[in-house]
């Protein structure tokens, strides 16, 4: 694996076939994770365009003319949309939605992470997952890192999650797909991997998402954790295949490799040499 270097079309890096396969495998697993979350997502509620309780004919005409769509009310006290927000203490608050979901520990996971280093899951209470009557599956720690809540307020996060989460998932899936296409069929000179000008943001984002999933598995929440993983990758005692120890060392090596490769791209974009 060579560091990225500038070329006429953008930036290129030479990888051995096995190195490309390794990176493809890592990104493909993140893509599968995002797609599996989309498959589990609940179907959107049907839109309700009739008059609501207490709405005058004139109000209804105005809302219809503005193409104002609201969801089907589930009860007399649960209208949705801006006009249906409840007042509490003189401020608007979102209607109470489903309780925040509890992330399930992924097999072999050493902890949870969010999109920011050092942050851990807020949803660490019991229940609200599969097996306790909830219609939603529990959020895996890696998914919680990839698709964080839009707000620190759990009720508000639930209220906007259906929009924000779908858009974020679609964006991340699209950019990973674009990176995978280049890795599987390199378009650079002499078979090098090419990051075209204008696509560097998608590459940095896709590589960072993949590192984030690996960091979640490895339990990296601080600089000290990162140093521990570095030591495991380069000085760890080899373990038998199929064991948990072997899996963690492979993940540590993958994290180190992907981190170095991403940093080499970032350095060339900033006009610096790797390691400077």
**What percentage of the chain has pLDDT greater than the value 90?**
34
| Tally of domains within the chain | 1
Asked if residue 155 is part of any domain, the answer here is yes
Asked if residue 239 is part of any domain, the answer here is yes
Query: Residue 75 in contact with residue 140, Cβ under 8 Å?
Result: no
Asked if residue 110 is part of any domain, the answer here is no
> Average per-residue pLDDT in the chain?
70
pTM for this structure? 0.60
Question: Does pLDDT of 11 surpass 50?
Answer: yes
Asked if residue 118 is part of any domain, the answer here is no
Give the model's confidence band at 132: pLDDT under 50 very low, under 70 low, under 90 confident, else very high: very low
pLDDT of residue 99: 32
Q: Helix (H, G, I), strand (E, B), or coil: what is residue 100? A: coil
- Please compute the mean of the pLDDT values over residues 155-184 and round it to a whole number: 80
Query: Residue 136 in contact with residue 98, Cβ under 8 Å?
Result: yes
Question: Does pLDDT of 20 surpass 80?
Answer: yes
**For strand 10-13 and strand 5-7, is the pairing parallel, antiparallel, or unpaired?**
antiparallel
The conformation of residue 77, written as its DSSP 8-state character, comes to T
Asked if residue 35 is part of any domain, the answer here is yes
- Please compute the mean of the pLDDT values over residues 23-46 and round it to a whole number: 77
Tens digits of residue pLDDT in 45-56 = 444 445 555 556
> Measured between alpha carbons, how far is 183 from 259 in angstroms, rounded to an integer?
17
Question: Does pLDDT of 259 surpass 80?
Answer: yes
Taking CA atoms, 211 is separated from 23, 202, 214, 215, in Å, by 11, 14, 5, 6
Asked if residue 100 is part of any domain, the answer here is no
Q: Provide the CA 88 distance to its chain's centre, in angstroms.
A: 33
Which of 56-60, 105-109, 183-187, 231-235 is modeled with the greatest confidence?
183-187
pLDDT of residue 21: 93
Higher-pLDDT residue of 179, 88? 179
Structural domain for 153, as ranges: 5-42+148-270
Cα four-point dihedral sign 64, 67, 68, 72: positive
Asked if residue 265 is part of any domain, the answer here is yes
Higher-pLDDT residue of 120, 253? 253
Asked if residue 48 is part of any domain, the answer here is no
> Measured between alpha carbons, how far is 122 from 234 in angstroms, rounded to an integer?
33
Query: Residue 111 in contact with residue 120, Cβ under 8 Å?
Result: yes
């Amino acid at each position: 694996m060579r560091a990225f270097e500038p070329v006429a079309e953008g930036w290129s890096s030479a990888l051995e076939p096995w190195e490309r396969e390794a990176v493809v495998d890592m990104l493909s697993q993140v893509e599968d994770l995002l797609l599996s979350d989309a498959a589990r997502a609940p179907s959107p509620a049907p839109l309700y365009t009739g008059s609501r309780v207490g709405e005058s004919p004139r109000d209804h005409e105005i809302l219809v003319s503005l193409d104002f769509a609201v969801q089907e009310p589930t009860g007399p006290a649960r209208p949705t949309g801006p006009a249906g927000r409840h007042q509490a203490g003189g401020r608007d608050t979102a209607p109470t939605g489903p309780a925040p979901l509890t992330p399930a520990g992924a097999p072999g996971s050493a902890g949870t992470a969010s999109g920011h280093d050092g942050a851990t899951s807020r949803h660490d209470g019991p229940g609200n997952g599969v097996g306790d009557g909830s219609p939603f599956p529990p959020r895996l720690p890696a998914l919680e890192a990839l698709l964080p809540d839009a707000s620190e307020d759990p009720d508000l996060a639930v209220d906007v999650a259906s929009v924000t989460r779908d858009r974020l998932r679609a964006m991340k899936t699209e950019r990973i797909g674009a990176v995978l296409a280049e890795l599987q069929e390199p378009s650079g000179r002499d078979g090098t991997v090419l990051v075209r000008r204008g696509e560097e943001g998608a590459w940095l984002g896709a590589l960072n998402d993949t590192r984030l999933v690996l960091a979640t598995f490895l339990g990296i929440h601080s600089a000290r954790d990162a140093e521990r993983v570095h030591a495991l990758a380069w000085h760890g005692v080899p373990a038998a295949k199929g064991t948990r120890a072997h899996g963690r060392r492979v993940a540590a090596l993958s994290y180190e490799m992907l981190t170095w490769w991403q940093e080499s791209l970032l350095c060339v974009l900033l006009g610096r040499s790797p390691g400077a």
